Amino acid sequence: MNDDILKVLYSKQDIDAIIKRLAGEISRDYAGKNPLVVCILKGAIMFMTDLVRELDEYVELDFMDVSSYGNATESSGEVKVIKDLDTSVAGRDVLIVEDIVDTGRTLSYLIKIFKTRDAKSIKVCTLMDKPDRRIKTVEADYVGTQVPNEFVVGYGLDYAERYRNLPYIGVLKPEIYQN
């Protein structure tokens, strides 16, 4: 285990089991459809690549990078598009894939802009949900697991761009933030 990690919340095996369940639900709901899967960079990258390989139907992939201003562990109210989609969402069944829904600001912003771009349907799959911190009333359609109000890293998620490549999800030691 990485020395900066206080505890592991989800091992790779735990994550695999979560993904198998979500992929089953998504495959059933999208039978006969070929959704546009929108991966929200960078945090959702590992989750998206593992998830889509478990789906029954083929999907198209696109990527969007958004940032909410703020410091490393607290988002602010403002959402900014860093990289937009290459594909038009008009008339498409859009499945947004997120790493974690926290305040809900990012998600409510994305849903709003995909609506104005005339997506046929918009659903959200998130690996983790932190419902305690919600500011915007927004819910994901597919939730991997609910997490307590702790800052988590690994499996795509970072602290100051570190720890994304850990194969598990864990909580950082408090002294890492204080440095």
Whether 102 is a known active-site residue: answer: yes
User: Closest distance between ligand XMP and the C-beta of residue 77, in Å?
Assistant: 9
Cα–Cα dist 24/171, whole Å: 28
Tokens of residue 33, six digits: 């459809």
- Closer residue to ligand XMP, CB minimum distance, 24 or 70: 70
DSSP 175: H
The answer to whether the CB of 114 falls within 8 A of the CB of 94 is yes
The catalytic position among 50, 99, 102, 129 is 102
Cα–Cα dist 101/146, whole Å: 10
Contact between 155 and ligand XMP per CB under 6 A: no
Which segment (40-48, 81-89, 108-116, 123-131) binds Mg ion by CB under 5 A?
40-48
Residue 126 binds which entry of Mg ion, ligand XMP, none, CB below 5-8 Å type-dependent: none
Candidates 35, 104, 144, 170; binder of ligand XMP (CB under 6 A) is 104
Cα–Cα dist 136/130, whole Å: 12
List residues bridging with 13 in a β-sheet: none
Instruction: For residue 36, give the amino acid letter.
Output: L
Candidates 35, 43, 154, 156; binder of Mg ion (CB under 5 A) is 43
- Judged by the rule CB under 6 A, the positions of this chain that interact with ligand XMP are 43, 68, 75, 98-107, 151-153, 157-158
The residues assigned a catalytic role are 102
